Amino acid sequence: MEIIEAFKTGQKDVAEFWLTLGGKFVHIRYFAIRDSKGKYSGTLEVMQDVTSIRALEGERRLVNWGE
């Protein structure tokens, strides 16, 4: 409820957290949804399993994307 209140008052537009859940590393983000006048309309929650992203090493450039 603290996040929602911060969204409603305009103090924040994004809140993000990360944790280990069921053996996976999960990134969670909440976004304030606003109308064209900036009035709070709701919240969008996005969860992503970033376990494989967290384990990345080195580089993969755009020219190597198909490998």
Q: What pLDDT digit, counting tens, does each position of 28-49 carry?
A: 999 999 999 999 999 999 999 9
What's the rounded mean pLDDT across residues 40-62? 94
- Whether residue 61 lies inside any domain: the answer is no
CATH of the domain at 34: 3.30.450.20
- Whether residue 63 lies inside any domain: the answer is no
Q: Are 61 and 53 in contact (CB under 8 A)?
A: no
What's the confidence (pLDDT) of residue 65? 72
What's the confidence (pLDDT) of residue 41? 97
- Residue 50: which domain range? 2-56
What's the confidence (pLDDT) of residue 43? 98
Give dist(CA 57, CA 3) in Å, integer.
34
